Amino acid sequence: RNKKMKIVNVTPHTIVINGNSFPPCGKIARVEQNNIKINTIDGIDIFKSVFGNVVDLPDKEEDTIYIVSALVRSACTDRKDIFSPSDFIRDSAGNITGCKGLISN
């Protein structure tokens, strides 16, 4: 039986799932990232991304799930209350207009 859950969008974009819109909550969960120069090829600097802590992800709250980016979700394998968009729906120009569901950890 499905329980009614509060869905909080912690991304900067409105998420549309099966015609239901979830506007951004005002906080953006993200993974800290530092780019470190590792090489230069033909005058082009080459960097490696080093990921750090997840910031601005709300604490767990009963009967609440959070929509986050795939990067945040993959950095939080211990959290079962976070999800990211799955199966994007695109318009004829290739722009994302929604998704079919959410991916869990």
In this predicted structure, what is the pLDDT of residue 4?
85
In this predicted structure, what is the pLDDT of residue 105?
85
In this predicted structure, what is the pLDDT of residue 1?
58
Rg, Å, the chain Cα set: 17
Residue pLDDT tens, the chain, 105 long: 577 899 999 999 999 998 899 999 999 999 999 999 999 999 999 999 999 999 999 999 999 999 999 999 999 999 999 999 999 999 999 999 999 999 998
Pick from 73, 83, 94: nearest CA to 5: 83
3-state secondary structure the chain: CCCCCEEEECCCCCEEECCEEECECCCCCEEEEEEEEEEEECCEEEEEEEEEEEECCCCCCCCEEEECCHHHHHHCCCCCCEEEEEEEEECCCCCEEEEEEEEEC
In this predicted structure, what is the pLDDT of residue 26?
95
